[in-house]
């Protein structure tokens, strides 16, 4: 019988944060539980432990339903330190949110609605902007990066692949400085952009796009070296595009 696979859960989880990180960890745990002959029991418990610890260390991540889901799936298998403590979590959230100004709290609430809209595939709401969001968009580069990323995700979700390619590729100049790990990893942005470009761009435009992620000599652009891993999906796509352009 084959030995069940161990997943490097911590390495994967470090690429994300927020609700997105929690939901991905819960998904891994469920996948391991549903396929015990393929994935190890240890990977399931590690996923649940990381999710629980993430909520306890930063209650701003908290969704009480997700927290209960994690605790129920742990089912006492990790000991007394991993039990349901939602009352404590709610109190800590209140303490954490109280110092924020009214404007910061409103922006935080706007970003939460964007996250929920992406999660529920309500892409029309992803593109909706309040007056406060529009003003903040032009003042804060990181906020602008996140909203543009959300728009590209909406285009991808609606199968507007060329628009999605343009959206993700436009983010590559700032992807080493800003991140939207609540939704996608920086590597995801590169992979989605290259995949959509490969599927929709004309050869000449595809060649120009490749130059945005590589140096003139053909290596990965310096600011993307920590994002595009050797032998990872982004690196693999670069080679596919090079081969396509050479034909």
The verdict on 111 and 200 lying in the same domain is yes
Looking at residue 154, its pLDDT comes to 93
Least confident of 46-50, 69-73, 129-133, 157-161: 129-133
CATH number at residue 227: 1.25.40.570
By the 10 Å C-beta count (0-12 exposed, 13-18 middle, 19+ buried), 171 is classed as: buried
What's the CA gap between 85 and 71, in Å, rounded? 9
The verdict on 232 and 118 lying in the same domain is yes
The verdict on 79 and 184 lying in the same domain is no
pLDDT digits (tens, 9 = 90+) for 48-69: 888 888 877 766 665 566 777 7
Looking at residue 179, its pLDDT comes to 87
Which structural domain, as residue segments, surrounds residue 48?
9-97
Mean pLDDT of 210-221: 83
**Which residues, 6 or more positions from 211, have their beta carbon under 8 angstroms from its beta carbon?**
none
Range ranked top by mean pLDDT from 83-87, 130-134, 175-179, 216-220: 175-179
Beta strands in the chain (DSSP E): none
The verdict on 131 and 226 lying in the same domain is yes
Which DSSP string corresponds to 190-208?
HHHHHHHHHHH--HHHHHH
In 186-201, which positions are buried (b, 16+ CB within 10 angstroms) versus exposed (e)? bbbbbbbbbbbbbebb
Span between the terminal Cα atoms of the chain, in Å: 44
Cβ atoms of 36 and 80 within 8 Å: the answer is no
Least confident of 4-8, 74-78, 87-91, 111-115: 87-91
Q: How confident is the model at residue 84 (pLDDT cuts 50, 70, 90)?
A: low
What's the CA gap between 111 and 132, in Å, rounded? 12
Cβ atoms of 48 and 217 within 8 Å: the answer is no
Which DSSP string corresponds to 61-72?
G--HHHHHHHHH
Domain stops at, among 97, 129, 163:
97
Looking at residue 160, its pLDDT comes to 95
The verdict on 145 and 73 lying in the same domain is no
Q: How confident is the model at residue 97 (pLDDT cuts 50, 70, 90)?
A: very low
The verdict on 181 and 138 lying in the same domain is yes
The verdict on 117 and 40 lying in the same domain is no
Domain stops at, among 55, 71, 97:
97
DSSP tally for the chain: helices H, then strands E: 13, 0
pLDDT digits (tens, 9 = 90+) for 114-140: 877 887 788 887 887 777 777 777 778
Q: What is the domain count for the chain?
A: 2
Q: How confident is the model at residue 42 (pLDDT cuts 50, 70, 90)?
A: confident
**Which residues, 6 or more positions from 7, have their beta carbon under 8 angstroms from its beta carbon?**
28, 32, 39, 40, 43, 47
Q: How confident is the model at residue 91 (pLDDT cuts 50, 70, 90)?
A: low
> Looking at the predicted structure, is the pLDDT value of residue 21 above 90?
no
Higher pLDDT, 59 or 110: 110
Domain stops at, among 68, 97, 126:
97
The verdict on 152 and 43 lying in the same domain is no
Token pair 């996140």 in the structure block, residue: 146
Instruction: Report the candidate in 97, 98, 84 with the shortest Cα–Cα distance to residue 55.
Output: 84
- Sign (positive or negative) of CA dihedral 67, 68, 70, 74: positive
The verdict on 70 and 174 lying in the same domain is no
């Amino acid at each position: 019988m084959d030995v069940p696979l161990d997943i490097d859960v911590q390495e994967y989880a470090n690429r994300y944060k927020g609700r997105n990180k929690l939901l991905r960890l819960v998904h891994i745990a469920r996948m391991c539980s549903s396929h015990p002959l393929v994935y190890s029991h240890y990977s399931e418990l590690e996923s649940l432990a990381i999710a629980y610890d993430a909520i306890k260390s930063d209650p701003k991540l908290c969704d009480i339903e997700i927290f209960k889901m994690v605790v129920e799936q742990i089912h006492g298998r990790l000991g007394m330190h991993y039990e349901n403590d939602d009352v404590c979590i709610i109190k800590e959230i209140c303490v954490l949110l109280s110092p924020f100004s009214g404007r910061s709290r409103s922006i935080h609430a706007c970003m939460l609605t964007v996250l929920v809209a992406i999660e529920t595939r309500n892409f029309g709401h992803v593109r909706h902007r309040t007056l406060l969001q529009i003003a903040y968009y032009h003042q804060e580069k990181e906020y602008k990066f996140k909203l543009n990323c959300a728009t590209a995700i909406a285009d991808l979700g609606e199968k507007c692949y060329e628009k999605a390619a343009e959206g993700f590729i436009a983010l590559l100049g700032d992807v080493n400085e800003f991140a939207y790990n609540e939704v996608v990893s920086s590597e995801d942005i590169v992979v989605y952009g290259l995949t959509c470009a490969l599927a929709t761009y004309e050869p000449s435009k595809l060649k120009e796009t490749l130059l945005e992620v590589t140096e003139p000599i053909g290596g990965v652009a310096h600011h993307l070296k920590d994002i595009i891993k050797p032998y990872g999906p982004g690196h693999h796509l670069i080679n596919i595009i090079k081969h396509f352009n050479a034909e």
